[in-house]
Chains A and B, each alone.
Chain A
């Protein structure tokens, strides 16, 4: 068995036999023609270009029908590229003047135009080189109809492995038995990725090449939630996977009966059941599980696994994507919660004896206002595109909240001055995850618009037990009365101040506590997307 780690494009689970897709991407050698053959070669290439344009028009129509205009537009752009006079001139000139065969002229031209994008100074434009190579490859295939794609037809649902897959290839694949898609290369930002997501096929990219011994007939498990691919999984893996599949199946069944229904008890008490997410990649899960909003958007992901601070634009684009996708449903974005177990080297965080009690989260943001303001600006700008609320982590005192509010006001004033749109009434809330915040929740409640209880940290700080420690098992009680008392106190104080209170930690999804939380009058429970429907089912069964 071997595990490959890649990047999730479209989450999902699937197990099946592996089928390897061989892209018809062979290097074409230079073959010369005689001047007399030029007209015939020009004619051939014109026909090939026109036939690919016609095919692209069809793919465009088909994709627009199934995935919408936005996702289909890339094929309209591809068609414009093939109709571009400079592109066509380059091919014709090569054939007529260098006396080369059409396929070679197309390949060279594709590479030349791709190089223009590769040399540009932004990552988005560089990635467009793949588009030019894709369309050129399609013309080459059209020039040699014999060289068709070599995709074995499988009788059972399968996992497709490709070195990389082009947007046109994914749309042309027969998807009836395509269970999952995995690629050695490719990126999460490619048009192929966008299309795979739209099609809802579990997809993992950037896995690297398959190890040699796995080239033959093997079975694979694709966990496209985590980006893991198990080659020839062992019995344990298969068991774990079977359990995961069962949960997913159960949720699918629940969805049929619970989709669009309210999370309401038999006696009419309503609770908002929201989802926790870590990146825009989780949006499909939010939709799939019919969450009523996002109660916790962990914003760390864009800061981790990189070597420099993300730019405001990059953050803004991600927040905007999430806000817009939720179509008016609430999205609670938690500001940077870095430090403790989540480290990024470029922050140059100090080595500490007790990182969980150290320089982390809001403490970093309030010490380095520049980092904080960049994120706040991005969130505020995105608030013009949906219903966003901002939540601050690791609060312990009134002073911190007052300081935060001053900074938020400064950022708002700048935006106003620059005439940049944002939601003037954007709600500000805090995580209640320290005993100090819970004990001061009456005072804090006067300053903010909502509370969300982070039970993981609240438990660890209340019990003085490291949640990552493996030796505290018998001492650790997730339902400790001290924690439940702090939760009750927080909910009471929220309501006393006329604000709502939710839970976004693991306890929120604990069905043994749902009844207790409802009794306390909790307003919102934010849980991992896969737990939304079981929780809604539980709430609807209570009276």
Chain B
């Protein structure tokens, strides 16, 4: 399993536009990808679950990736977060 932390810098948090793109990115991989923040957890491939976490700027998220392509998936998501959120 791969796991990393990330602090959200986008002033609006995980809002609708990047959320859609984040899900799209996650769906490119077969690994199970979860995101934890503020004691709650969501599947990154499920947009409603993801958005309902209400993640805001300066929140720390923990991303866990588990599966056959976990290394690539973790790198791709980390890059996505840095570039978009």
Contact = CB atoms under 8 A, between A and B. Distances in A.
Do A and B belong to a common assembly? Answer: yes
Interface of A: 70, 73-74, 76-81, 84-87, 113, 116-117, 120-122, 124-125, 128, 131, 191, 313, 316-317, 320
A120 B16 contact: no
Contacts of B54: 120-122, 125
B57 interface: yes
A125 B15 CA distance: 8
29 contacts: A70-B17, A74-B16, A76-B20, A76-B21, A77-B16, A77-B20, A78-B20, A79-B20, A80-B24, A80-B47, A81-B47, A81-B48, A84-B46, A84-B47, A84-B48, A116-B48, A116-B52, A117-B51, A120-B52, A120-B54, A122-B54, A122-B56, A124-B12, A124-B13, A124-B15, A128-B51, A131-B16, A313-B11, A317-B11
A383 to B, nearest CB: 15
A78 B16 CA distance: 9
A320 B48 CA distance: 28
A191 B16 CA distance: 10
A84 B23 CA distance: 10
Given A121-B54, A124-B12, A125-B54, A113 B21 contact: no
B17 A77 contact: yes
Contacts of A317: 11-12
Interface in B1-41: 11-13, 15-21, 23-24
A80 B20 contact: yes
A86 B51 CA distance: 13
B82 interface: no
Contacts of A86: 46, 48-49
B17 A73 contact: yes
Report whether over half of chain B's contact residues are helix, strand or loop; otherwise say mixed.
helix
Nearest to B54: A120
B17 A313 contact: no
Interface in B50-72: 51-52, 54, 56-57
A73 B12 CA distance: 16
A472 B19 CA distance: 59
A113 B16 contact: no
A114 to B, nearest CB: 10
Interface residues of B, number: 22
Contact of A313 (B16, B21, B45, B57): B57
Contact of B20 (A73, A85, A87, A121): A73
A113 B46 CA distance: 13
Interface of B: 11-13, 15-21, 23-24, 45-49, 51-52, 54, 56-57
Contact of B23 (A80, A113, A122, A124): A80
Contact of B46 (A76, A85, A117, A120): A85
B14 to A, nearest CB: 10
B17 A125 contact: no
Contacts of A77: 16-17, 19-21, 47
A313 B24 CA distance: 28
Contacts of A116: 48, 52
Contact of B21 (A73, A128, A131, A320): A73
CB-CB nearest 10 A-B residue pairs: A77-B20, A73-B17, A80-B47, A80-B20, A76-B20, A80-B23, A77-B16, A84-B47, A120-B54, A116-B52
Given A122-B56, A124-B13, A131-B16, 14 more contacts: A73-B20, A74-B16, A76-B21, A77-B16, A77-B19, A78-B20, A81-B47, A85-B46, A86-B46, A86-B49, A116-B48, A117-B51, A120-B52, A191-B16
B47 to A, nearest CB: 4
A317 B56 CA distance: 14
A122 B51 CA distance: 12
B21 A87 contact: no
A74, A77, A79: residue with the most chain B Cβ atoms closer than 10 Å: A77
A410 B66 CA distance: 47
B24 A76 contact: yes
A269 B61 CA distance: 56
Interface centre among A78, A84, A116 (most CB of B within 10 A): A84
B56 to A, nearest CB: 7
Contacts of A85: 45-46
A120 B48 CA distance: 13
Contacts of A79: 20
A44 B57 CA distance: 41
A95 B7 CA distance: 41
Contacts of B20: 73-74, 76-81
B85 to A, nearest CB: 13
Nearest to B52: A116
A278 B12 CA distance: 23
A173 B15 CA distance: 26
A125 B24 CA distance: 20
Contacts of B19: 77, 80
B16 to A, nearest CB: 5
A116 B46 CA distance: 14
Given A76-B21, A77-B19, A313-B11, A125 B51 contact: yes
A131 B16 CA distance: 9
Nearest to A313: B11
Nearest to B56: A122
B54 to A, nearest CB: 5
Contact of B16 (A84, A87, A128, A316): A128
